[in-house]
Copies of this chain bind each other. A is one copy, B any other.
């Protein structure tokens, strides 16, 4: 099945589905091997891994290059966190075309302004895009698809911006009407209160996606009962890798030897396995002359 078709089915199936964050080819492969059916190409994680801020410091083609590697390394669908679409409707058109070519299954666009500010930064103003302008982006994205199963998820930031439920619903209605395949309802509360208030009013009119980074303590059953279609575990591979690398770096720096680290980390052969070294061995048998 095409990656796009798989992802569309995840959105429209009656079950709650889960996708896991990745930020490069390696972590994407790890997500697939863990059993997940899809990958979240997180803007925060990708920028952090590159070493820049989640403020569109990396250009959209630099992000695209990361996605190209992620897509090549895996066979499950990727939903790209496409920020604001990196400009206006016209930039969205190019983005959708390029994502399709590179085997990315879907993109999530958020109704904020370029360059973006990360939604979890409490102290920041989070200005929202004009509703009609953003609806135009969604329409333009839809019209640029050549694969009808490519999906566009509209991420509504009105809770994040402090505008409350009425604005959320107004925007949800507009983006749904503009053709969004799903809505991502974002909240940075530590409880699912905003999410549940929305799902109650929205009444299942289209697939909903959530990111429970801040309300992580909510039992998953709550999301299931609320009719959510897709949960994004948004940045936890990156966060686990940071802690591990900091600990390893500190230990090697202090001890000036690998002796105690060697047993605590995977072997070099595990890197080779993840790189699919054995496939190259077989290909060399096939394509290189015997010497």
Question: Do A90 and B289 touch (CB < 8 A)?
Answer: no
A16 (CB) vs chain B CBs: closest residue = B256
Contacts A52-B72, A137-B287; A47 near B275 (Cβ below 8 A) = yes
Question: Do A115 and B90 touch (CB < 8 A)?
Answer: yes
Question: A12 an interface residue at 8 Å Cβ cutoff?
Answer: no
Which stretch in A152-160, A163-171, A194-202, A244-252 binds the other chain? A244-252
Contact size class for A?
35 or more
Question: A175 an interface residue at 8 Å Cβ cutoff?
Answer: no
Question: Do B56 and A275 touch (CB < 8 A)?
Answer: no
**Contact of A88 (CB < 8 Å), options: B33, B60, B115, B216:** B115
Question: A13 an interface residue at 8 Å Cβ cutoff?
Answer: no
Question: A276 an interface residue at 8 Å Cβ cutoff?
Answer: yes
A26 (CB) vs chain B CBs: closest residue = B49
Question: A220 an interface residue at 8 Å Cβ cutoff?
Answer: yes
Question: Do A258 and B62 touch (CB < 8 A)?
Answer: no
Question: Do A24 and B53 touch (CB < 8 A)?
Answer: no
Interchain Cβ contacts under 8 Å between A and B, 30 examples: A18-B252, A18-B253, A25-B52, A27-B245, A48-B271, A48-B275, A52-B69, A57-B91, A59-B59, A59-B62, A61-B61, A61-B62, A88-B288, A91-B115, A101-B103, A123-B281, A133-B288, A136-B289, A213-B268, A216-B258, A216-B259, A235-B268, A236-B252, A239-B265, A239-B267, A240-B247, A241-B241, A241-B245, A243-B265, A244-B244
